A and B are shown apart, each in its own frame.
Chain A
């Protein structure tokens, strides 16, 4: 895994076939994500966005194809090597997926405790900083049950960022959030990318986010079981030859205003 080489793709999926048991949901899915890019996987409900994400991060094994992170094959690696690679990967789940028996600070500290040689004080400092980065300073000792849905998501993001991942996956970050909170989360994603140079892969169907922060998107389709469009959403909305893509993207184009800079940081 070569994180520093700028020419290597952060994520390179080729010929992926995803599904559960005998049911194939996606076939021959290939795409590349550049370093520092904010990349969206979009599509209607049930088209396999979240399924693709689960297969990318190794929660499910693709039946065919390869997933490479920074040039290194992930899905065919040994279990030990996969664990090693997963340290450079962060995942934010839909509901935050915080561990309910731990408070926010402990939630963020757990990965640090497992994988770093830091002492307790350093872990706490760093975890506090991560919480502050997502706008949750002062909430260290709150338990997940005591905070709102948007805060849970942000805390989940702080936990995903704990090990300074090179690439972060977001599963429907704006689902269930009000437009303002959702926009703040989008801004946060852009800020983190600019500040830390992270690569962000976002699964979403929120048009405001897509037009606000996406550098590039792929659109999945349920009936074709694969990618039907790839590129800049603003261009796709106008110039795509596929009417379904234009219809999907066209509805939200004017509704969204950009939330931050769109150029990937060097």
Chain B
């Protein structure tokens, strides 16, 4: 007869899981004791055996304070070992609950299928190509729907949701004033500083006013405002519409026969297309103010002279081209935001992705459109 404790301590603390091994003829009696908790380390069957090779194993129910899946896993381990070694394993001493759980675990272990969701390179390329085609179709359809809605709006203006539109205008216009003020003022300041250094070398200090004025009005006013609104409003549109989609609000509109584009997209597009030029105009003014401040401080040009010079540099066509661009940018930012929102996945992560891609798409569209405008205006000599 051999008597050995599994743990090194002869009288272990009552909270430890313990296994008492006893050989009795060709039987190895495995007595389970102590508290078995899944969160604690349990004895491993391979360590307990330590190379010995019993012919028959009997699991015995000892003084157990507490047990859970940890004990189940241990018994399962013993059972699997016995199966592979073709050793008789007697579990009759174990309670019913444990035996039932053991059967469940065995069934799971035998029937478990590992689904491989990975794809090979070729099919990945294929799916990506399909995706590009599908997205292109989607965007075209969306733009088409917007055009149809716009025509409908012109025919029946009383059906337009003016209240929503005004609310959006306040959100994307008035509420954006502080950030637009700060950024455009700083842009004006920076441009004035940069050009002042250069102009001074030629004694052409006063032309700082021309540079700042022209660049602000033709380019930076609209562009900076559009970029701010892409981050501020485009993202908000995508998040709002994405959440509405996840909450089945869009579905509710569709089953009522109301086109989501009429109801949700048009007020937002109109709001942005109207407010962005206004904000851009405001940004132009603040940019010029910034330039004026730098000229006064750095170059000692009196504000009145700066203003006269600015007036002579800018004519109405400069302002109008800037505003036309701003309006177009507004439409693009709104389209990107609404499109991404309406096509968002119905989940928290889906809304997050929609927001990100709305901003990215908005910025991309702004830059591409700006380049196109540059070419077109150049062709017409505006």
Chain A residues proximal to chain B, CB less than 8 Å: 3-4, 87, 100-101, 112, 115-118, 122, 125-126, 128-129, 132-133, 137-138, 140-141, 144-145, 163-164, 194-197
Chain B residue, CB-CB nearest to A115? B39
- Interchain CB contact under 8 A, A129 and B108: yes
Q: Does B140 contact A (CB under 8 A)?
A: no
Across the interface, name the chain B residue whose C-beta is closest to A3: B66
CB distance from B323 to the nearest CB of A (A): 44
B101–A122 touching, CB < 8 Å: no
Contact call B346/A195, Cβ cutoff below 8 A: no
CB distance from B114 to the nearest CB of A (A): 8
Given A3-B66, A126-B69, also A100-B39 (CB < 8 A): no
B345 contacts A145, C-beta separation under 8 Å = yes
Chain A residues with Cβ below 8 Å from B39 are: 87, 115-116, 163
Q: Which residues of B contact A101 (CB under 8 A)?
A: 349
Query: In the bound complex, what is the Cα–Cα distance between A122 and B105 (angstroms)?
Result: 11
- Interface check B40, CB cutoff 8 A: yes
Q: Please report the C-alpha to C-alpha distance between residue A100 and residue B350 in the assembled complex, in whole angstroms.
A: 10
Chain B minimum-CB-distance residue to A101:
B349
Interface string of B178-209 (1 = CB under 8 A from A): 00000000000000000000000000000000
Q: Write the B108-129 contact mask toward A (1 if CB under 8 angstroms, else 0).
A: 1101111101000000000000
Residue on A with the closest CB to B69? A164
* Known pairs A122-B73, A195-B100; A145 contacts B347 (CB<8 A): yes
In the bound assembly, the distance between CA atoms of A129 and B101 in angstroms comes to: 8
Please determine whether A4 and B108 come into contact, CB atoms closer than 8 angstroms.
no
Instruction: Kindly list chain B residues whose C-beta atoms are within 8 Å of the C-beta of A194.
Output: 97
Q: Are B108 and A128 in contact (CB under 8 A)?
A: yes
> Chain A's nearest CB lies how many Å from the CB of B312?
60
1/0 per residue B58-87: CB within 8 Å of A?
000000011011000100100000000000
Instruction: Report the minimum CB–CB distance from A167 to chain B (whole Å).
Output: 13
A100 pairs with B73, CB closer than 8 A: no
Known: A4-B65, A101-B349, A196-B97. A163 touches B112 (CB 8 A): no
- On whether the beta carbons of A125 and B38 are closer than 8 Å, the reply is no
Q: Which residues of B contact A (CB under 8 A)?
A: 35, 37-42, 65-66, 68-69, 73, 76, 97, 100-101, 104-105, 107-109, 111-115, 117, 345-349
Check B113–A138 contact: CB distance below 8 A.
Answer: yes
A191 to chain B: closest CB distance in Å? 10
**Residues A126 and B100 in contact, CB atoms below 8 Å apart:** no
User: Could you show 21 A-B contacts with beta carbons less than 8 Å apart?
Assistant: A3-B66, A4-B35, A116-B38, A122-B73, A125-B73, A125-B105, A125-B109, A126-B38, A128-B108, A129-B104, A129-B108, A140-B112, A140-B115, A141-B115, A144-B347, A145-B346, A164-B37, A164-B68, A194-B97, A195-B100, A196-B68
Chain A residues, CB < 8 A from B349? 100-101
B45 CB to nearest A CB, Å: 12
Residue of B73, B107, B109, B112 with most chain A CB atoms under a 10 A cut-off:
B112
Given A122-B73, A141-B115, A4-B38 contact (CB < 8 Å): no
Give the complex CA separation of A194 and B95 in angstroms: 13
Chain A hits for B109, CB < 8 A: 125, 128
9 other A-B residue contacts (CB within 8 Å) besides A87-B39, A140-B115: A115-B38, A116-B39, A117-B40, A117-B42, A118-B73, A122-B73, A137-B111, A141-B117, A164-B69
Instruction: Say how far B76's CB is from chain A's closest CB, in angstroms.
Output: 8
What residues on B are CB-neighbors of A112 within 8 Å?
38
CA distance A212 to B40 in the complex (A): 36
Q: Which residues of the other chain, A, contact B105 by a CB distance below 8 angstroms?
A: 125-126, 129
Which residues from B are CB-within-8-Å of A132? 104, 107-108
CB neighbours (8 Å) of A196 from chain B are 68, 97
Measured CB to CB, the closest approach of chain B to A113, in angstroms, equals: 12
Once the chains are docked, how many angstroms separate the CA of A116 from the CA of B112? Answer: 22
**In the complex, what residues of A have CB within 8 A of residue B76's CB?**
125
In the complex, A3 Cα to B64 Cα: how many Å?
12
Contacts of B117 in A (CB 8 A): 141
A126 touches B112 (CB 8 A): no
Give min CB distance, A196 to chain B, whole Å: 7
Chain B residues with CB under 8 A of A126: 38, 69, 73, 105
Chain A residues within 8 Å of B108, by CB: 125, 128-129, 132, 137
Residues of chain B within 8 A (CB-CB) of A4 are: 35, 65-66
> Cα distance A44–B164 when bound, in Å?
37
Query: Across the interface, which residues of B come within 8 angstroms of A145, CB to CB?
Result: 345-347
A133 CA to B108 CA in the complex, in Å? Answer: 10
Closest chain A CB from B109 CB (angstroms):
6
Return chain B residues, CB-CB under 8 Å to A144.
347
Q: Smallest Cβ distance from A162 to chain B, in angstroms?
A: 8
* Complex: chain B residue closest to A144, CB-CB: B347
C-alpha gap A108/B365 in the complex (Å): 43
| Chain A CB within 10 Å, residue with most, of B38, B115, B346, B348 | B38
Chain A residues closer than 8 Å to B73, beta-carbon distance: 118, 122, 125-126
Query: Whole-angstrom distance between the alpha carbons of A243 and B109 in the complex?
Result: 54
| Residues from chain B with Cβ under 8 Å of A195 in the complex | 97, 100-101
Q: From A164, which residue of chain B is reached at the shortest CB distance?
A: B68
Q: When chains A and B are docked, how far (Å) is the Cα of A132 from the Cα of B65?
A: 27
What's the nearest-Cβ distance from chain B to residue A172, in Å?
Answer: 19
CB pair B40–A128 under 8 Å, yes or no, is: no
Q: How far is the CA of A137 from the CA of B107 in the complex (A)?
A: 10
Chain B's closest residue to A195 (CB) is B97
A14 to chain B, nearest CB (A): 26
Closest to B97 in A: A195
Give chain B nearest CB distance to A119 CB in angstroms. Answer: 10
